[in-house]
Chains A and B, each alone.
Chain A
């Protein structure tokens, strides 16, 4: 069961990239595939004159997740059930400081390699907490009620609710269908809920501002 979940999680990570706008790999079954790599299609994006993209700190990210998922801030993520992920365990990795003992008085200049792992752990923990609560009491569920009750529109409603709560907008058709592709066997409805939440919570749009 755990292996199945990990495999599905890997799929979800791939989908996260797709949801962020990366083009899908070319299919090897494409009848027009001549073996020669096609010329890349470059779509001009509006370029920022002064690009200043900032990453949310661990505390900002946790606070946003708490609000989006209607969780108490202290229940978003705790390592070993005791150490708050953003305030303690991953504080420095996620842009925090600790001037008194560690003498780290400014955020690190370079994002450490452990930062993505820390983000994943916070997102998984928070998403798992919301899904567990909603599936335990579908009648008073916040996001995954219809999914927990087995309604056919449950997955669709869950994804739309997640976009609304986390990103403050509706998904477009491509985004919606990309996330809904996670709703296939072997994933159970509960696992789909965690994966859909994780994909959206770890999208670039939700991590940076």
Chain B
């Protein structure tokens, strides 16, 4: 009796993979509707047709019924792809979620045809709302001033400021001046301010192992160096890519006004200037911004020979790609090699590790807390570090290369890894998306996707990677200005 159960269970996994989990679907959808907001910068995710795959939502159910009716299931991927276009057209005029808007209209306007609470607002604008003075049908200057003042300065504008804006010959100049003042406020750039907290997810501080001011019980590294570098690269006329490429560190003098100053010392000089529990131990030629700070290496690499967690955190925090969610996969032929004998060549592991392991190799040459033999300086570059882990991870560790790959591109070391990352579209998009989420407390809607895409592309070109320039453009978007 056991075998039939096992067989059925295997089929249960296998059959849906043929019948439903067809990765050609999103691309075929976008070939049919290239101007749909959900197709402008990527493709729709599984949730467009499924609740939890393989279970379909209302739209997916209607689509499946219209897909090659009468043809035996499961469909082959080729048959699925060939029939999908006609099926999409067949249900265009239907309203599968019953929200009063046809599927086609929803697709083209960027709402979700499987969600009755997601539909385009119709009927136009009846006129300005009297009570609050906001005009929800057009960019509203007073509303914009209030948002700028609260988001960037931390308080509402005074009535006199609003009146001055309304009376101004050039209200845009007033808004620009307000934003510029706020970008220098303590609320924005001070310790524990808005920018500081924007770095929380990248740094993941833990007070118990903090060194320096306010040290914890087991002082290992000072994350304030990381916060200082983050705020420094996001302010004034500075290139945000230095977050990943800086060869300097940043000191802070609390204000108001709080001041950040870049400096460079050798590891030995830093030990003398501060103390051995705080010093930055990577020599200048091997530094790569926040990827090689003492805190980042100690808190992520710790005692690991092949620090996959460190690479995955860098990929997630700075490039917006989470390998744990199967994002940013660029399979590398011949990988994973499994230098540390962790079994990553197993079928269930290999797909992600084919990207993750070569992404990790350059990080393996930077120490965390310890772990290898002989022990060396923590959080420092160590030219033969993998070989120090043969006793723990096996003899193949001596062959682990310093060369790696990011986005499928070969890099010779972590410094080049960081340069490729910093110049990538992923970095620009992730940086701008951070600020979008900060200012709107939400991801862009499908209808707003175009504005986000334009912003991160401008960030790479006309804004020259200056965050403050990008923010001046962001507050001019319709998404920001229309109540």
Contacts and interface: CB of A to CB of B under 8 A. Distances in A.
Interface of A: 21, 44-50, 52, 54, 56, 59-60, 63-64, 67, 97, 99-101, 103, 105-107, 164, 168-169, 172, 205, 209
B131 interface: yes
Given A49-B447, A205-B132, 12 more contacts: A21-B131, A45-B129, A46-B135, A47-B123, A48-B483, A50-B447, A50-B448, A67-B155, A97-B197, A105-B204, A107-B441, A168-B158
Contacts of A60: 150, 154-156
Contacts of A49: 121, 136, 447, 482
8 contacts: A49-B136, A50-B448, A60-B150, A99-B203, A100-B205, A168-B156, A205-B132, A209-B156
A121 B186 CA distance: 26
A48 B121 CA distance: 8
B267 to A, nearest CB: 26
Interface centre among B146, B150, B482 (most CB of A within 10 A): B150
Given A46-B129, A60-B150, A60-B155, A100 B207 contact: yes
B126 A44 contact: yes
Interface string B123-156: 1011111011101110000000011001000111
A48 B482 contact: yes
A168 B129 contact: no
Given A205-B132, A209-B156, A46 B127 contact: yes
A128 B419 CA distance: 57
B159 A168 contact: yes
Interface in B407-451: 440-442, 445, 447-448
B150 A209 contact: yes
A97 B196 CA distance: 11
A21 B146 CA distance: 22
A166 to B, nearest CB: 9
The DSSP consensus for interface residues of chain B is loop
Nearest to B210: A100
B479 interface: yes
B200 interface: yes
B131 A101 contact: no
B156 A50 contact: no
Nearest to A55: B441
Given A50-B448, A100-B206, A209 B147 contact: yes
A99 B155 contact: no
Contacts of B206: 100, 103
B174 interface: no
A34 B294 CA distance: 77
B329 interface: no
Contacts of A99: 197, 200, 203-205
B126 A106 contact: no
Contacts of A21: 131
A105 B200 contact: yes
Given A46-B126, A168-B162, A209-B147, A52 B440 contact: yes
B476 to A, nearest CB: 15
A46 B128 CA distance: 7
Given A50-B479, A60-B150, A169 B121 contact: no
A56 B201 CA distance: 22
Contacts of B121: 47-49
A52 B136 CA distance: 11
A48 B129 CA distance: 11
A172 B133 CA distance: 13
Contacts of B137: 46
Given A56-B150, A99-B205, A50 B200 contact: no
Given A168-B159, A169-B159, A209-B150, A105 B479 contact: no
B446 to A, nearest CB: 11
Interface string B285-300: 0000000000000000
A59 B154 CA distance: 8
A20 B200 CA distance: 37
B112 to A, nearest CB: 15
A164 B160 CA distance: 10
A52 B442 contact: yes
A204 B482 CA distance: 19
Nearest to B137: A46
A156 B133 CA distance: 23
A64 B156 contact: yes
A46 B143 CA distance: 15
